[in-house]
Amino acid sequence: MVSIKDVASQAGVSVATVSRVLNSKGYVSEDTRKKVEQAIAELNYKPNEVARSLFKKQSKTIGLIVPDITNPYFPELARAVEDTAAKLGYTVILCNSDGKTEKEQHYLDVLMQKYVDGIIVSSNTISERQIKSLQIPFVSIDREISKDIPTIVVENKKGAKLATQYLQNKGCMRIAHISGPLNVVNANERCEGYKEVVRNEQWFNESYIGNGHFEMDSAIEATLELLQLHPEIDGIFAANDTMAIGAIKAVHKIGKRTPDDIAIVGFDGISLSKATTPELTTIEQPIYEMGEKAASMLIEFIEEKPVEKTFYRLDVGLVERESS
Amino acid sequence: MVSIKDVASQAGVSVATVSRVLNSKGYVSEDTRKKVEQAIAELNYKPNEVARSLFKKQSKTIGLIVPDITNPYFPELARAVEDTAAKLGYTVILCNSDGKTEKEQHYLDVLMQKYVDGIIVSSNTISERQIKSLQIPFVSIDREISKDIPTIVVENKKGAKLATQYLQNKGCMRIAHISGPLNVVNANERCEGYKEVVRNEQWFNESYIGNGHFEMDSAIEATLELLQLHPEIDGIFAANDTMAIGAIKAVHKIGKRTPDDIAIVGFDGISLSKATTPELTTIEQPIYEMGEKAASMLIEFIEEKPVEKTFYRLDVGLVERESS
DNA sequence: TTGAAAGCGCTACCAT
DNA sequence: ATGGTAGCGCTTTCAA
């Protein structure tokens, strides 16, 4: 690799001068700048970012910790983060935590050692203390950890109400809910939204809520149980799209039809939801926008630019398709 | 951040000694090692990887360039790469190229500046010359660039033949193909495999091949055209799962049924293929294994360990589900 | 067995 | 306007 020294001698100047033209900082005469630029071009010189990082104590790199990039919600998020970071001159290190505290802590350590300039995390187990002790810019996405931590989330409760009311308006008389793990804030909020709508219905009781883990198999199982217990169910609101797809499968399995016998609504608006038959009616999150916002906010922190707001609760909307 | 100096003075030794215990290299008496380790623990010292990188000229980081992480094929691949890299002490920088040469070149430059130790790329546009000029370990995945470049691909042709023959065995009399972009090697191989099976059928001619771009909308369009031109088609082999899903939708749209009227087989085995109704019969690639292999091979190169083989063509298999 | 010091490539301060 | 040089945190000779 050609270094700044090579450029300096090639151009017949000192490394200090080369550094100046590199960073457009300090006085450089037009003439010498030309010479240096030519030398750079001739040698195809690219400054060594590692050396820069060591000196500047920042690396133009951010870390992104997600539970599992294989979960269809996260690729779009990751893409948005990467796009935005790249646009602003940053690079992103991807980490999969599987939602496990040890893995998260491990990655946090590794990222700190690599001098990343900031971190975006989607986690329910990480604590405010843990984050604060890092002492670097941080954004929590899709999960609310503390009002004190910059956060991007969506209107979970509102979305859940929207979904449930929509099902009511469609004429559903018995609406069940398949929840996510209730210790996860967003799953809990979605469940609350559902309950708020049906709580006062005379038919309602807690047995209309089945528990899933945000993935398909658990939802199939939950749906099957629900339908056995309450054959009169004619509408299901699932706490995410993957589970809604599981619900569709379960309904199909016992020979009923979607939406004719049972209408189904999901949550998230992952691209998968357009690929199923019937296409899924869902509460759409602005996933790309969330990633974009998280990255740009993080980088504003990093570059110490003024940040107007540090807590975003983005809006969601109903996308009506064929499953309802 | 606490540095090696802090540890040294805390332990009452020189930085050289601390470095020795850090790397278990050179002589250190049991006694002083204990002292140093204690100091490290007390101060919760973590060596600065950037400084290490600068000296060692390697960063324990690898780059992963994919066209688009949002394409359902790549998350699983990325996960495998990340898992394997993490296990071996490496970190991965994710880059989305959209298959564009400029973006690829840009990321290649950036990754070089960051001193990544190696790069894994999925690309059709990148050239052997480009790669060779990088002078760092490199693995091409899912795309064959040159016999000279370490590569992980699958038996595309064999898989395509498998799919087409299977459709024949299922009793299909007129089997169409929806190809990917034919300038992409794997799309071309899959098309060749299909042709090899049907070429000698009396009904066959090139108009049974529709062109898609490996994504859903193009496949819907292609299928609609194909079906209009040849209403007698009773089997479709799509060059990837996303397009197969598009085909299912198109078939559904014109009121025919899958698999009763038209059987459909895809290619890839992405997790999406299990989520559709009907579930997709497909030629399954060992995606995770490919990512795993790519990462471990790359790291073997990086660490200059002996590598037995540098070109893997992994096997594929038919997974029979409901769409056929 | 340990320490002093050079040097990885770069930036920024201080001279000139 | 330009150059010399210290120093970012670490590893690795070389000497002691």
Q: Do domains A4-47 and A156-284 have the same CATH topology?
A: no
Fold of A61-154+287-315: Rossmann fold (3.40.50)
Write the residue in B64, B69, B216 that is nearest to A275 by C-beta.
B216
Whether residue A269 is predicted with pLDDT greater than 90 in this model: the reply is yes
Does the pLDDT value for residue A278 go beyond 90?
A: no
* CB-neighbour burial class of residue B260 (10 A; exposed 0-12, middle 13-18, buried 19+): exposed
Classify the C-alpha dihedral A157-A264-A73-B81 as positive or negative: positive
Nearest-CA residue to the C1' of D8?
Answer: A55
Q: What is the pLDDT of residues A174-201, one digit of tens each?
A: 999 999 999 899 999 999 999 999 999 9
B26 touches strand D (CB under 7 A): yes
What average pLDDT does range A282-295 have in this prediction? 98
Q: How far is residue B92's CA from residue B97's CA, in Å, rounded to a whole number?
A: 16
Distance CA B44, CA A134 (A): 13
**Quick one: which of A236, A254, A239 has its CA closest to A323?**
A236
Of A160-164, A237-241, A305-309, B165-169, minimum mean pLDDT range: A305-309
pLDDT digits (tens, 9 = 90+) for A205-253: 999 999 999 999 999 999 999 999 999 999 999 999 999 999 999 999 9
A27 Cβ within 7 A of any nucleic strand C atom? no
Q: Where are the domains of chain A?
A: 4-47, 61-154+287-315, 156-284
Q: What is the pLDDT of residue A289?
A: 98
Average pLDDT, chain A: 95
| CA of A289 vs chain B CAs: smallest distance (Å) | 15
Q: Which residue is nearest to nucleotide D2 (CA to C1')?
A: A17
How high is the pLDDT of residue B68? 96
Which DSSP category does A279 fall into?
P
pLDDT along chain B (324 residues), means of 10: 94 96 93 96 96 95 97 97 98 97 96 96 93 95 94 98 97 97 94 97 96 95 96 97 95 92 96 89 98 97 93 97 91
Is the N-terminal amide bond of B278 cis, ω within 30° of 0? yes
| D3 closest protein residue (CA to C1') | A14
How far B24 CA lies from chain A's nearest CA (Å)? 19
- Minimal C-alpha gap between A71 and chain B (Å): 8
Domain boundaries B156-284, corresponding CATH code: 3.40.50.2300
pTM over 0.85: yes
Q: What is the pLDDT of residue A275?
A: 87
- Confidence at residue B277, expressed as pLDDT on a 0 to 100 scale: 81
Q: Provide the pLDDT for residue A287.
A: 97
Which positions ≥6 away from B273 have C-beta within 8 Å?
A: B241, B244, B245, B266, B279, B280, B282, B319, B321
Chain A with chain B: Cβ pairs closer than 8 A: 123
**Could you tell me where the beta strands, DSSP code E, fall in B16-98?**
61-66, 91-96
With the CA atoms of A301, A305, A310 and A312 taken in that order, what torsion angle do they form, in degrees rounded to the nearest 10?
-100
**Which of B53, B78, B96 is nearest residue A50 as measured by Cβ atoms?**
B53
What CATH number should be reported for the domain whose range is B4-47? Answer: 1.10.260.40
In this complex, the answer to whether residue B15 has its CB under 7 A from any atom of chain C, a nucleic strand, is yes
pLDDT at A62: 98
* Any strand C atom closer than 7 Å to B28 CB: yes
Tell me the percentage of chain A whose pLDDT exceeds 70: 100
State pLDDT tens for residues A35-76: 999 999 999 999 999 999 999 999 999 999 999 999 999 999
